[in-house]
Amino acid sequence: MAVVADDLIARSIEVLRHGQAPSGAFVASPSFPVYRYAWLRDGAFCAYALDCVGEPEPAAAFHAWVGRSIESHRVMVERAILTIDAGDPPPPEQMPPARYTLDGLLEHHEEGEAWPNFQVDGYGMWLWALAEHVRGPVDSGLRETVDLVARYVRATWPLRSFSCWEEFDGGEHASTLGAAIAGLQAAARLLDAPVWEREADRVRERLLDRFVRDGRFMRGPDDERVDGSLLWLGVPFRVLPLDDPHVEATVEAVRRDLHRPGGGVYRYLGDTYYGGGEWILLACSLAWHEVSRGNHAAAQPLREWVRAQAAPNGDLPEQVSRHPQSPSMYAPWIERWGPVATPLLWSHGMYLIMETAFGA
């Protein structure tokens, strides 16, 4: 039985508030040990969700934490930019991190346990979320940080990096370029600097030149599959207008290949993580797009499915594995890391964003 909508909205706000450390960082999941860090990507959407529901103070605390964390590693970021510009990029493990500890420090793992570090998309997503929070030029307290991050995105977007799913898969990902475009466009607004709009146009040209086949976006230039993260090229990043044929064809491919009728949305065909189940945040993303296009009837079943996945206390998981793509890969992940991450703050954040879209 689905949790009552008002209760799930309240619980989602509570999960985000309780998952925010005193520093302002959002932990990815408080009960899943390997997600005990603060990802820029997850946090950006959580902060935006709180802005959407009229909770700007915790969103501001997150943005302030990001600013402090990046500034405390300014030397690392500047060094990466300089070496990339000189044609000698540092190895991925020496790049600025995709995630920090809740205190804004670099993570430390035992040998062989480190997760992929070099992920450009989170930095673009943070700029996007900050611009949505500020709604105008940024004040002097974060101005230098925004400039630094914009320069970092400009230097790194042409490089091969890990995707939003922490996977390499050839190192070129349409969703990463979409996040870079959104971040650079945000930097132009935050700094009142048109140079970043021009850089966003360069990235868009690359995206359209190398990541389109048969009129729709592909997850990579050599990977024709559609990916759930491609939904963000439309909503919220507005890489192209929502009625652009490329966007429409891409969303249609997501509906066809990744949306299980009456269910959620898979990340991509061939996913094996916890069996490759249906992701809450992607079901919310597809519903968000549908509502933004005025297709409330198509969005409502996704909304109802998400509500039905909540635990009795209202917690939402990362993914639902009742209809996995790779059933034999479910047990190995359970043995390795335990049950699926629940609650996942990003799932709750996307639920709030979706509900806000319905009410807009």
Lookup result for tokens 């949790």: 3
- Gap between the Cα atoms of 222 and 233, Å rounded: 19
Residue type, 335: E
Structure tokens at 188: 């132009």
Taking alpha carbons only, the member of 292, 309, 302, 280 closest to residue 358 is: 292
Position 338 scores a pLDDT of 97
Position 113 scores a pLDDT of 54
- Gap between the Cα atoms of 357 and 255, Å rounded: 19
Dump the DSSP string for 78-118: HHHHHHHHTT-PPPGGGSPPSEE-TTSPPP---TT-PPP--
Measured in degrees and rounded to the nearest 5, phi and psi for residue 220 equal -150, 165
Structure tokens at 294: 């005025």
Position 114 scores a pLDDT of 61
- Gap between the Cα atoms of 281 and 247, Å rounded: 19
Structure tokens at 41: 């990507």
- Gap between the Cα atoms of 51 and 43, Å rounded: 12
Position 6 scores a pLDDT of 87
- Gap between the Cα atoms of 69 and 78, Å rounded: 14
- Gap between the Cα atoms of 19 and 203, Å rounded: 34
Angle between helices 296-308 and 280-292 (to 10 degrees): 160
Domain ranges of the chain: 5-359
CB 49 within 8 A of CB 349: yes
Lookup result for tokens 């990096």: 161
Position 1 scores a pLDDT of 47
Position 340 scores a pLDDT of 98
Dump the DSSP string for 311-337: -TT----SEE-SS-S-GGGHHHHHHHH
Q: What is the pLDDT along the chain (360 residues), one digit of tens a residue?
A: 456 678 999 999 999 999 999 999 999 999 999 999 999 999 999 999 999 999 999 999 999 999 999 999 999 999 999 999 999 999 998 999 999 999 999 987 654 456 778 999 999 999 999 999 999 999 989 999 999 999 999 999 999 999 999 999 999 999 999 999 999 999 999 999 999 999 999 999 999 999 999 999 999 999 999 999 999 999 999 999 999 999 999 999 999 999 999 999 999 999 999 999 999 999 999 999 999 999 999 999 999 999 999 999 999 999 999 999 999 999 999 999 999 999 999 999 999 999 999 996
- Gap between the Cα atoms of 55 and 150, Å rounded: 26
Structurally, what CATH architecture does the domain formed by 5-359 represent?
Answer: Alpha/alpha barrel (1.50)
